[in-house]
Amino acid sequence: MPISLSALLLVVGTSLCWSGLDTMRKLLASRLNPIPLVILLALGQIPLFLIWFALAGNFKISPDYFFPGLAAVVFNIAANLMFVHALKLSPFSLTIPFLSLTPVFVTLLAIVLLGEYPTLQQVAGILIAVAGALSLNLARQQEVAVKNIWRAIRGERGSLLMIGVAMLWSLNSSLDKLAVARASVAFHALVQVAGIALGLLPVFMLKFNRHDLMIVPAHRKFLLGAILFCACGLTLELTVIQTIPLRFVSIIKRVLELSLAVIIGRWVFAESITVRQLAAIGLMGIGIILVLTQN
């Protein structure tokens, strides 16, 4: 099925929001630990979605909502904890590239859970785009080679955990789509952010203290920006997945986010852009063309 212009714009919009969130999180990384930051992001979004849910007045919720809706909360909490633990166990360069596998897992799980079947051309496009995404992640590390990725799979517990993170986030995409078919976007988003905040609270109480949630006034604008980007990205994504197959959302989002990361890295953090990175972006572009031009 061809993707409409409105759906494409929604995917682009959510990709821009997630890229903005990544930028804000990078700016906050040296000021806050990951778990307190996730909790603050979730808490900051609760009032926004609560007001939206109350004003929308759509209180009709199917009893069938609660299994996918609450399962998404549990898997999201698990993915966040696994993500942090993976980075503690293994080098950043040998873990983050595996998140590029997300579109593959999304496509496979959507077949099983939603009955969304890709064509052979789309499968080829997804695999080519994922290969480009892996190459782009590798291109950022001067000393990282493909053989190191295979070594990481065999010997790095953190890398195996990150593959698990990619699988859980992919599973969440299907659960989100099932959930928003049974309740409003505002309600599902509210359940997710409130559930994540409450679910991570015991972890916070065991490992941190209230001072870990403190942020100096000069950096609060970054936190506010992160909250707004996260809320907008979640809203747009939950809206667009109701209209098009998940594989479109996942692959376009992944390619745009990675490409924007290169641009933002150059613009905000003065990072260099290499020929290898440009080649990887070109490979992802070929994959996207194959996915979107299928009749």
- The pLDDT of residue 30: 73
Measured distance CA(125)–CA(146) in Å, rounded: 21
Domains of the chain by residue range: 5-292
Among 258, 295, 179, smallest CA distance to 18 is for 258
pLDDT at 144: 46
Q: Can you give the pLDDT at residue 129?
A: 86
pLDDT of residue 142: 44
The C-alpha atoms of residue 92 and residue 259 are separated, in whole angstroms, by 19
Q: Which residue has the tokens 């409105």?
A: 6
Per-residue pLDDT of the chain (295 residues; tens, 9 = 90+): 568 889 999 999 999 999 888 888 888 877 788 888 899 999 999 999 999 999 988 788 899 999 999 999 999 999 989 888 887 776 666 677 778 888 889 999 999 999 999 999 999 989 988 888 777 666 555 444 555 566 556 656 777 888 899 899 999 999 999 999 999 999 999 999 999 999 999 989 888 888 878 777 778 899 999 999 999 999 999 999 999 999 999 888 888 887 877 777 777 767 677 777 788 788 888 888 888 776 4
Q: How far is CA 128 from CA 61, 69, 132, 295, in A?
A: 40, 32, 6, 19
Residue 152 pLDDT: 54
Give residue 146's pLDDT.
56
How many other CB atoms are there within 10 angstroms of residue 66's CB atom? 14
- The pLDDT of residue 138 is 61
Residue 1's Cβ-count burial label (10 Å; 0-12, 13-18, 19+) is exposed
**How is residue 210 annotated by DSSP?**
G
d(CA 60, CA 57): 9
149 — phi, psi (to 5°)? -65, -45
Q: What is the pLDDT of residue 92?
A: 63
Residues 193/40, Cβ–Cβ less than 8 Å: no
Q: Tell me what pLDDT residue 98 has.
A: 78
